[in-house]
Amino acid sequence: MLPALNTPDYLGYAKAAVEEGIKIIETAGNPEPILKYLKSNGVTVIHKCVSLGHALKAQAKGVDCISIDGIEWGICSAGHGGEYDTTSMILLGRCAQELKIPFLASGGFADGKGLAMALILGAQGINMGTRWMCTVEAPIHQNVKEAIVKMDENGTILVLRKFRNTTRLAKNEVTLEVHKIENSKLEPQFQEVAHLMSGARGKGVYETGDINAGVWSVGLAAGLIKSIPTCEELARTIEREAAEALSKANSLYTNRASL
């Protein structure tokens, strides 16, 4: 449901998904064009938002669940999302205060402590993007996975802010150049960076493993990632870490002196 030069056939996509028996669909942008159709076919609709205002609007329109994205995320902001600069911690706290429907935590989550934290703040669970890139099964070049493991908390960069399309990307030769061009003049034109931002160039990163071939998405969570497990190992580890972190903090807390 995102603005596009050539609007895709969203309802056609929705019909194909329903016919294939898909029971949960995540929407973004304006869910209205397909929401009624999805709901009348028993599909659970999770709507992705980057601000509480958007989440409240989506709730009013009738989606079942919100996926709320803090500024930690690594996915293209698809519009004005990334302009809010609100962190996951604050957004989740606000969602717990204002939303009546369930919500998932997205942006910055990579381990069991993160899952435990999301549950503490009232989310029903976490969404992970970058973390799944660093798994054995992820269909991207091993160099990219290893580059993420090597990153620290300063491995990403926000670009395209001047075009109100803020995007968090891996800090590399190409994104540093985009950042430089964008900030070298008051009113840069997108044409000046379009050749650097090309999706085709970015795709080459994942295929060839040349991490400087183009732009590629990665979240702040990259700084926390130190291994490349299988998906099953990752899920089990996160579950175990979350249980341990909750249990440890709970026992620490209840055993101490009270005010």
Interface ranges with a copy of itself (CB under 8 A): 52, 70-72, 84-91, 93-94, 96-97, 108, 110-111, 113-114, 116-117, 119-122, 152-154, 158, 184-186, 220-221, 223-224, 226, 235-236, 239, 242-243, 245-247, 249-250, 252-254, 258-259
Asked whether 158 and 140 are in contact (CB, 8 A), the reply is no
Comparing CB distances to a copy of itself, the nearer of 64 and 111 is 111
Q: Write the DSSP assignment of the chain as a string of letters.
A: ----SS---HHHHHHHHHHTT--EEEEES--HHHHHHHHHTT-EEEEEESSHHHHHHHHHHT-SEEEEE-TT--S--TTTGGGG---HHHHHHHHHHH-SS-EEEESS--SHHHHHHHHHTT-SEEE-SHHHHTSTT-SS-HHHHHHHHH--TTSEEEE-GGGT--EEEE-SHHHHHHHHHHTSSSS--THHHHHHH-HHHHHHHHHH--TTSS--B--GGGGG------HHHHHHHHHHHHHHHHHHHHHHHHTSPP-
Query: In whole angstroms, how close is the CB of 213 to a copy of itself at the nearest point?
Result: 25
Query: In whole angstroms, how close is the CB of 19 to a copy of itself at the nearest point?
Result: 30
Comparing CB distances to a copy of itself, the nearer of 29 and 114 is 114
Query: In whole angstroms, how close is the CB of 162 to a copy of itself at the nearest point?
Result: 9
Residues in the chain: 259
Query: In whole angstroms, how close is the CB of 229 to a copy of itself at the nearest point?
Result: 14
Comparing CB distances to a copy of itself, the nearer of 96 and 194 is 96
Comparing CB distances to a copy of itself, the nearer of 124 and 208 is 124
Query: In whole angstroms, how close is the CB of 214 to a copy of itself at the nearest point?
Result: 23
Comparing CB distances to a copy of itself, the nearer of 32 and 244 is 244
Query: In whole angstroms, how close is the CB of 258 to a copy of itself at the nearest point?
Result: 7
Comparing CB distances to a copy of itself, the nearer of 213 and 224 is 224
